[in-house]
Chain A
Amino acid sequence: DQQVKQNSPSLSVQEGRISILNCDYTNSMFDYFLWYKKYPAEGPTFLISISSIKDKNEDGRFTVFLNKSAKHLSLHIVPSQPGDSAVYFCAAPVPGSSNTGKLIFGQGTTLQVKP
């Protein structure tokens, strides 16, 4: 079973506070993870990624944490800004697809940052 799950369909936070978006996966063979942000009527935009050899990757206001034992990753946005309001997808290359790189996506979490 190769699934990536985002169990929270939506999240609302106040501007300036931390946003935490969660993602779980079922196969311990997943070794690379990506987060994408999507605005309405646009394609997904790459945000940040993490390899399974790391447990943290940071890029400005965005940090991704990986807990391999729990098969869980999270995206932290600090401080949250109204422009961060979008749908966030976690994704991973399907294990064993190193030749194709095809991605499997979670269902997405809609983040709303209130001014």
Chain B
Amino acid sequence: DTGVSQNPRHKITKRGQNVTFRCDPISEHNRLYWYRQTLGQGPEFLTYFQNEAQLEKSRLLSDRFSAERPKGSFSTLEIQRTEQGDSAMYLCASSLRQGMSETQYFGPGTRLLVL
């Protein structure tokens, strides 16, 4: 299967702990996105990479959040000093821009529960 993969699928942690999620995009895709989804809402944009460069970060992304894509392939999203409000589904998507249109393909997500 050559889709977007995310690990772990589920994470339960205690408040104050650090967590790290990994995303492996579709191999030929140069764009990678992180979104967060809470219950009853659509996904909300967090950050975007083109190759290894992080080109945009949402104001939703506090300084406790950091994302990397060191070699332009997989990406990691780290949350430091987790808070209960961080509990959500974290989604990764990748795309290959072609002309004026672009379709993002999502991974299965990592569901985070902060106790």
Contacts of B41 in A (CB 8 A): 107-108
How far, in angstroms, from A52 to B80 measured CA to CA in the complex? 41
Chain B interface, DSSP helix/strand/loop, else mixed: strand
- Known contacts A43-B91, A91-B42; is-contact A102 B48 (Cβ 8 Å): yes
Contacts of A46 in B (CB 8 A): 103-106
- Chain B 44-74 near chain A by CB (<8 Å), digits 1 or 0: 1100100000011000000000000000000
- B43 contacts the other chain (CB 8 A): yes
B105 and A105: CB pair below 8 A? no
Whole-angstrom distance from the CB of B49 to the nearest CB of chain A? 10
A interface, size bucket: 20 to 34
Q: Which of A42, A100, A106 contacts B42 (CB 8 A)?
A: A106
- Known contacts A42-B108, A43-B109, A44-B106; is-contact A101 B48 (Cβ 8 Å): yes
- B85 contacts the other chain (CB 8 A): no
Whole-angstrom distance from the CB of B104 to the nearest CB of chain A? 6
- Chain A 28-66 near chain B by CB (<8 Å), digits 1 or 0: 000110101000011111100101000000000000000
How far, in angstroms, from A52 to B91 measured CA to CA in the complex? 27
Q: Which of A51, A89, A106 contacts B101 (CB 8 A)?
A: A51
Q: Which of B35, B91, B101, B111 contacts A49 (CB 8 A)?
A: B101
Whole-angstrom distance from the CB of B109 to the nearest CB of chain A? 5
- A93 contacts the other chain (CB 8 A): yes
A107 and B42: CB pair below 8 A? yes
Contacts of A91 in B (CB 8 A): 42
- B33 contacts the other chain (CB 8 A): yes
A34 and B103: CB pair below 8 A? yes
Q: 9 closest Cβ contacts across the A-B interface?
A: A105-B42, A43-B106, A102-B45, A44-B106, A101-B102, A43-B108, A43-B109, A100-B48, A100-B56
